[in-house]
Structure 1
Amino acid sequence: MGSNKAAVCVLSLVLCSLLAANTAAAAGCDASALSPCVGAIMLGGPVTPGCCARLRAQRACLCQYARDPSYRGYVNSPRAQSVVAACGLPRPKC
């Protein structure tokens, strides 16, 4: 069980790094700002108010993130879509 937690932590850090890597090219879009949503997206944990606030702030950027091959799978995942719905946002139409 401990190795699963370590793997999740490593995966979360990798995800945050990938999200941050392309922010320079995206004026106003900062995918690393979605880090409060990692637990909900990666582990199916609770969707927090902080996650929803960040998701709303980055809403205009979601299609850009979804097109990026580095993390397209995360953004388009069923868990990510359920987080969007839990925050009361419409599913992005890209």
Structure 2
Amino acid sequence: MLKKDVLPAAKRVFEGLSEGYRQGKFRYLDVLDAQRTLFKAQATYIEALANYHETSVEVERLIGQRVDKARVARGKREEYREKK
């Protein structure tokens, strides 16, 4: 959601206000506010990615293998069960 919706929308608003400011339609404070919103959305996205990767590493440490290998192993077990 952040990557597909929030970040592009915040970027469009910032770019639109920046262009409007250059044309004399908006105040500089409006541009700064939009920029702050964009930066906050980017920081939130980066924090979410970092949390995801930290959690993935912790899960891998706990199960003793990479998460993608665990998914493959689970898929093979499910295929085996379906064949029975």
TM-score range, shorter chain: 0.3 to 0.5
User: Bigger radius of gyration, 1 or 2?
Assistant: 2
Relative to the length of structure 2, the TM-score reads 0.35
